[in-house]
Structures are given as structure tokens and as C-alpha cells.
Homo-oligomer: A and B are copies of this chain.
């Protein structure tokens, strides 16, 4: 981490956050309250994270300052089902389970519904997010054949994690981890609870109070003090920390033999406990609610890495019209293209320019980003320039009443009325229609 010092004195150290997640965990109590004290719920954050990498390299892939987007989805550890799982359950994509990696096999297409049913993926909520990450990345324009979900090997995974899958994207640097989707169990909330003393827990109220059998261990501090002197506290804590099985065995031994051998880890020795030193019993108690630490499922997105891979997967070349040159173009889907369309008067002419400006205004009203080019550069050159920027649609003003729309990848053109053109562009860029849909609706134009 990067260290700095806060305030004028210079004695108060601070660190730049290496991930965004912890800010969500420390706010758990408020977030839980905002959700009406109900699980499941999720909080998401996007922002800069800072890691003092020893050797930053590979462009945007390993950097010291990067944009991280994290979702923390809190669930009841006893119910990790997800109501929307059926929406993704039929997706099939490249997965690389732990067993296949160990056996030296390759990633293979697996149905996510089956992966969850067979226990390859630990639970429905984790499976739901894996499915949603697949949809997210492929909608952005990541090639589905160069995207795989690789399960962490047992030795890669943090000790507390229940399961973890990385969305890896293949690029010229190999398979790059771009999104991590982990079931971190209750680890983070427990760690903050331990350090801060503030319980970060959820409550499930029972409709009817339930009778619960509770183990009660009461060490007799006076007797233990006489017997163990300075070690009394360690022995008391060790007795209180006994699990049900161990405690019931000790109870039996004490009742039959009057004393029992007891291993105190913190003292690293076995001591003798006699029956005056501890009372062990079971009581029936009425409970009105269950108190528990939620588990968290965390999809964590490295935005720079995703964008870098998107550049590689979207970069294409094709021959120029006369075949002399290789032309570069980015095939960004309309959804993510930074500039959605261009407006070109075919030739320099005041009337066409006027219409171009009028179209530009209506694009602004629809909130569509565009580029207008009224220079006299040849239309072929103007298309080539904006193909290189990945602009999906080009509007060319070649008459006073109607204009053409050209699609970048197919170079197909349709003819649309001037007053309709902005709404057609809106339709095909916000995902209501595809280019295929509008191609049927409007006359095609061949240049």
C-alpha cells in the first residue's frame, strides 16, 4: 500500500485504499438499516484503488492506480439461493473448474444452471453473478470464445473463501484476470467486528419464539484461581471456548471419574480439571430471533483491464476500397462506443451544412454523442477516420429531405427522412433495435 501522513503534525499515518470493498463493510450497519433490516441486499462502489506494485507493466494491465468497481451482495449464509437465478440458468459458456485444471484438461462449455446443480459452483447467488458477468462482458463486446471463468485452486483461494471464480479474458498478454467473483463468506464483517467491537450482524425474527438447547459452561473462577494462579485466566477462556462435543465428554468424565485431563492451547500443556472447577449443563432457552453474520458474494471488476481487452477484441483491419491499404477500425458495439455517430454533409454546400447542424441539434436533444465534420474532405476519408475511432453510425447529408445512415462494420447504408434520423440513431444505439431491424424498415442505399 501507499502510505502518507494526515494532518499538519505528520504523526498520523494514512494509507491509500487498495480496494473499494472495505468502505462498504464498515458501513454495513447503515446499509442494512437502509434496506429495512432485510437480507439479501447489495451495495456497489466504483473508484480509484492504489497498490504500490513493484513492477508495473503491460500497459493498463498492471498499474499502481486503477479503477475498481465492486459489488458486495450480502446474503444469509443458510440461504444462498437467488430469485433471479432462472434468468441466467440456461447460459452456457467456457468454464474451467478446479478439477479440470488439476487433471490438465482444457476449459469447456458448461451450462451455469447445471454447474450450480452439480455443486461445481458453490451456490446460486455466486452462479447468478457469474452469469451476469458473462452477459455484461459479452454485451460490452468481449469475444465469448476468448472469455472463460476459471475457478480458483484450493491453494489460490483465501482460507475464508467458500468459492471463487475469475472471469479471464484472452489477449496478447495471455489469459488476464479481469473480474473476480468470490464468495468471501462472513470473513470481512467478522474481521471488522473483532477489531472495532461493533457487531456487524443481521437478525432474523422468528414468527414464533423457538426453543433452543443451549450449552452452558460456568467455570468456577475461585477454585481455578487457587489451582492455576497466574494461568487462571487462560484456563477459564479455554473452558468457555469448548465446543459442544468436547464439553459433553468432559461433563461425562467429571461425573464418572471426578476429574478430567484438559489441553489448554494457550498454555501449550494438559492440565487436570476436577469437578468443582466447572459446571457444564444444557438448558432449553426461548429464542425470538436468530443473530448471524451475513456472507458476502463479491464481484470485483478491474475496469482498466476490461477496457484494454475490449480494445484488443474490437480492433480489426480490412482492405481499403482500392485494395491498396489495410484500414483499421474498432468494432465497438453501439452501447459502448464513446461517439455514437457522425454527421457529414456529402459536399461543402450551405444547404447541406444547415441540415447537418439541424440534425446535430436533434442528436443533442436525444443525448447522443456525435461528431460533425463539415470540412470538404472526401466522404471515403471521413468514413475511414471515424471507423478508426469506432463510431458505429455515419449520417451523410446528400439531399434536402432525406439522408443516409451507414453502419460501420457492414458498410451498409439506409435512407431515412431528415426529421426521423435522430430517433433511428437513438433506437439502434440504446439497444431498442439492432441494425438488422432497421435495415428491413428503411430503403437501402448503395453509394
- Which residues from chain A sit less than 8 Å from chain B, CB to CB? 2-8, 14, 16, 47-48, 52, 54, 64
Option from B4, B52, B64 in Cβ contact (under 8 Å) with A2? B4
Residues of B within 8 A of A2 (CB): 4-6, 14
Complex CA–CA separation, A359 to B345 (angstroms): 44
Residues of B within 8 A of A14 (CB): 2
Complex CA–CA separation, A2 to B50 (angstroms): 14
Q: Give the number of copies in the complex.
A: 2
Residues of B within 8 A of A3 (CB): 4-5
> Is the pair A6, B47 in contact by a Cβ cutoff of 8 Å?
no
Chain B proximity of A251: nearest CB distance (Å): 46
> Is the pair B7, A52 in contact by a Cβ cutoff of 8 Å?
yes
Chain B proximity of A342: nearest CB distance (Å): 13
Residues of B within 8 A of A54 (CB): 7-8
Chain B proximity of A374: nearest CB distance (Å): 11
Residues of B within 8 A of A6 (CB): 2, 52, 64
Known: A2-B6, A3-B4, A16-B16. 11 other contacts (CB 8 A): A2-B4, A3-B5, A4-B4, A4-B16, A6-B52, A6-B64, A7-B52, A7-B54, A8-B52, A8-B54, A48-B48
Residues of B within 8 A of A52 (CB): 6-8
Chain B proximity of A204: nearest CB distance (Å): 16
Complex CA–CA separation, A4 to B18 (angstroms): 14
Complex CA–CA separation, A6 to B3 (angstroms): 9
Residues of B within 8 A of A48 (CB): 47-48
Instruction: Report, nearest first, the 10 A-B pairs whose CB atoms are least far apart.
Output: A2-B4, A4-B4, A8-B54, A48-B48, A3-B4, A6-B52, A6-B64, A4-B16, A7-B52, A47-B48
Residues of B within 8 A of A64 (CB): 6
Could you jot down 14 A-B contacts, CB within 8 Å?
A2-B4, A2-B5, A2-B6, A2-B14, A3-B5, A4-B4, A4-B16, A6-B52, A7-B52, A7-B54, A8-B52, A8-B54, A16-B16, A47-B48
Complex CA–CA separation, A7 to B57 (angstroms): 13
Residues of B within 8 A of A4 (CB): 2-4, 16
Residues of B within 8 A of A5 (CB): 2-3
Complex CA–CA separation, A2 to B3 (angstroms): 9
